[in-house]
Amino acid sequence: MAAEDKEEPLYVPLKVRRRREQERLEKRRKVLHERIQHERSEDESEGSEDDNEEAEPRTKRTKTSIGAGTTAAGAAPVPKDSEDLQPKERSTVSLLDQAYEMRKKMELEGVNQHKVQQDAQEVSMLKEASYVQKAALVSAHERAEGIHYKESMKTTWKPPRSIAEMTQDECDAVRKKWHILVEGEDVPPPIKSFEYMRFPPAILDALKAKNIMRPTPIQVQAIPCILAGRDMIGIAFTGSGKTVTFTLPLVMLALEEEKKMPIIGHEGPFGLIVGPSRELMRQTFDVVKHFTSHLFKAGYPELRSLLCIGGEDKRQQSELISSRGVHIVVATPGRLNHFLKLHEMTLRLCKYICLDEGDRMLDLGFDEEVATTFNHFSSQRQTLLFSATMPQKFQDFAKDVLVKPVLVNVGRAGAANLDVIQEVEYVKQDAKIVYLLECLQKTSPPVVIFCERKGDVDDIYEYLILKGVEAASIHGGKDQEERNGAIDMFKSGRKDVLVATDVAAKGLDFPDIKHVINFDMPAEIENYVHRIGRTGRCGKTGVATTFINKSVPESALLDLKHLLVEAKQTVPPVLKALEDPYEELVRSATGGDGLSNATGTKGCAFCGGLGHRITDCPKVDSQVRKIGAGKRDFLADAQRLELAKAELNGILVDTQLQEASLLIVLNKRDLPAARDVEELTAALEYQESCAQCNRRVRVQPAVATTGEGLNDGISWLCENMTAL
């Protein structure tokens, strides 16, 4: 062989090499085949013998050397490689079915793993999204001093003995009958009549004048809780009497405080009611005036109330405060903070604050305004949050911030009023205005038409006027006088149709609205619930018609579909055709509701929509962008002032400013006696150099001394930059 190898040429053609490789592989295949045949013949001969003691080790040896399966009962194990040589029983399941089952199993395992990850992501997003709201309901002074109240406000109100002695089972029976859900510690018992709530005869007469004979479900439980001084979250569908629920206890509180010590000029108020829109606050103010006027006519002390909203004369509002003082203030955040900033009004005596439409207050950009208002409180107060759409995330953060709060829920938060017949129609964009005339024929007046854009309001108003329809219009672009005039004419019946943006959807109580038309489907389902809530109030039946087309986001349509199903309304075919594959997949994997989130609540925990999760919520995107801009933006001016004045260590990193910009407080005595942050912080920033390393440092000049003190502070800052 060696000689032959030496005579072999150095170059072997490719064809020759391939042929030799094939011959070598063929030779190895024959050897393996002969070995397998030999092993099989030995197994068959051994299997025919009855000597089990000898057959058993051979079987083990065969399994170990080649690997084996099993044949029919009583047969010896067969080598795995020999299975291909014997006829195999045909499987009853096709390969396509097996592949489908395997793929489905893999998908479900992936979905389960994805659901776990998504639940963790939802919890994280809820914590981030609720950052600003938690800060808004606690004053900067309380945060800086670490003040945490443990007990609720003390009041002199006591329920009648027969009510106070009710057992827990009796209270639960009443709540079950009235469909009331409560959460909290030591919840006061429900009271089914205004007389047993111990209101004076003048208040009972005022209620009868409004044709209110008995309390609604939310009033049965919420009014006793408020009279007892408890912080509360009130959730009830639109038109359920929430305004009376929080105004009556406030009027009684103001009456009690006035009897103890009458107020004089520049004093008050004892209580605040704050809301997101001027029209809503004007309506609430009218309710307060109704009760206080009946008390005054009955011989009780005069209770002065102030409507503190934009668009009204500041001088008249200021004169009432300075000359005689006020007991109750009904306000929007902007004008209220204006008076607080100028020290024309103080909250030194204030013991009560109610945020009407509380979730919308903290969701529409009012969070900083609300935080500024709370920063003016110097002592504990009773805090109330009321809304028809209170998502789970607001309930959770409020429970953390409020003092031993009571949650009173009449129906699911965000659920539509069951007294409203909801109709959804597919209408092309260019045919909407013309189709309005046909929709107006469904019911008799009055009718409200809601639009998203101010331009659409003006266009529809002009079109209806040209067609001879008695119409009025309001939106944020009109001045306050025009808005008030339009609402007054519509309420008095001089106008049959009101065309409005969502400014008219925020809690306004129009009498006997027969029909609500949504010219646009709002992007957020909360706005839809508030819109259709203008009709079907106080047990009356109303109609709501909504126009949809391909311009509406799919998430909004899914929310609408689930809302209609929940309210047992007719779902149009265009919405029935919408499928949520994720929901179906998770339901098939878990056997449950695919839209239940990490907190166990159905739908989105952020906005309350039933057709999506928080990870797909459009409102979260805007909130996350706000958070991403820097948590420094969430601290209002008064908070910055309190934090600066509370700092004792000499250096405070100013997280509100741009990155690497630092607020230097060299000594507490160097802080000017400023009343607001404008006096505390100069408008312009400038740079100073460190005397030792010549490093440039951005400084807020108004809170840092000048000269040697400033230079020493900058040098210290450079030396300790790493530690900071």
Annotated binding site: 667-670
Is the Cβ–Cβ distance between 700 and 682 less than 8 Å? yes
CA 21/CA 29 separation, integer angstroms = 12
For the residues of 587-609, what is the DSSP string, one character each? HHHHSS-TTB-TTS-BS-TTT--
Beta-sheet pairing, 420-426 with 382-387: unpaired
Annotated binding site for GTP: 667-670
Q: Which DSSP category does 154 fall into?
A: P
Q: Alpha-carbon distance 580 to 588, whole Å? A: 13
Q: Kindly give the pairing relationship between strand 305-308 and strand 68-69.
A: unpaired
Helices 95-129 & 392-401, crossing angle to 10 degrees? 40
Task: Annotate 489-522 with b (16+ C-beta within 10 A) or e (fewer).
Answer: ebbeeebbbbbbbbbbbbbbbbeebbbbbbbbbb
Nearest alpha-carbon partner for 320 in 330, 465, 311, 602? 330
Burial (CB count within 10 angstroms: exposed 0-12, middle 13-18, buried 19+), residue 213:
exposed
* Of 277, 359, 385, residue with least CA distance to 606: 359
Rounded CA separation 640/643 (Å): 5
DSSP string, 487-554: HHHHHHTS-SEEEE-GGGTSS---TT--EEEESS--SSHHHHHHHHTTSS-TT--EEEEEEE-TTS-H
Strand intervals (E) in 118-191: 181-183
Distance, in Å, from the CA atom of 304 to the CA atom of 287, rounded to the nearest integer, reads 13
Distances (CA, A) of 324 to 298, 319, 332: 21, 8, 22
d(CA 257, CA 261): 6
| Alpha carbon distance 570, 356 (integer Å) | 32
Q: Distance (Å, rounded) from C-alpha 36 to C-alpha 325?
A: 108
- Phi-psi category of residue 359: left, alpha or beta, with phi > 0 → left and psi -120 to 50 → alpha: alpha
Residue 432 corresponds to which amino acid?
A: K
In angstroms and rounded to an integer, the radius of gyration of the C-alpha atoms of the chain is: 37
Return the axis-axis angle of helices 278-297 and 480-492, rounded to nearest 10°.
60
- The token duo for 661 is 């910009």
Nearest to 636 by CA among 335, 366, 281, 261: 366
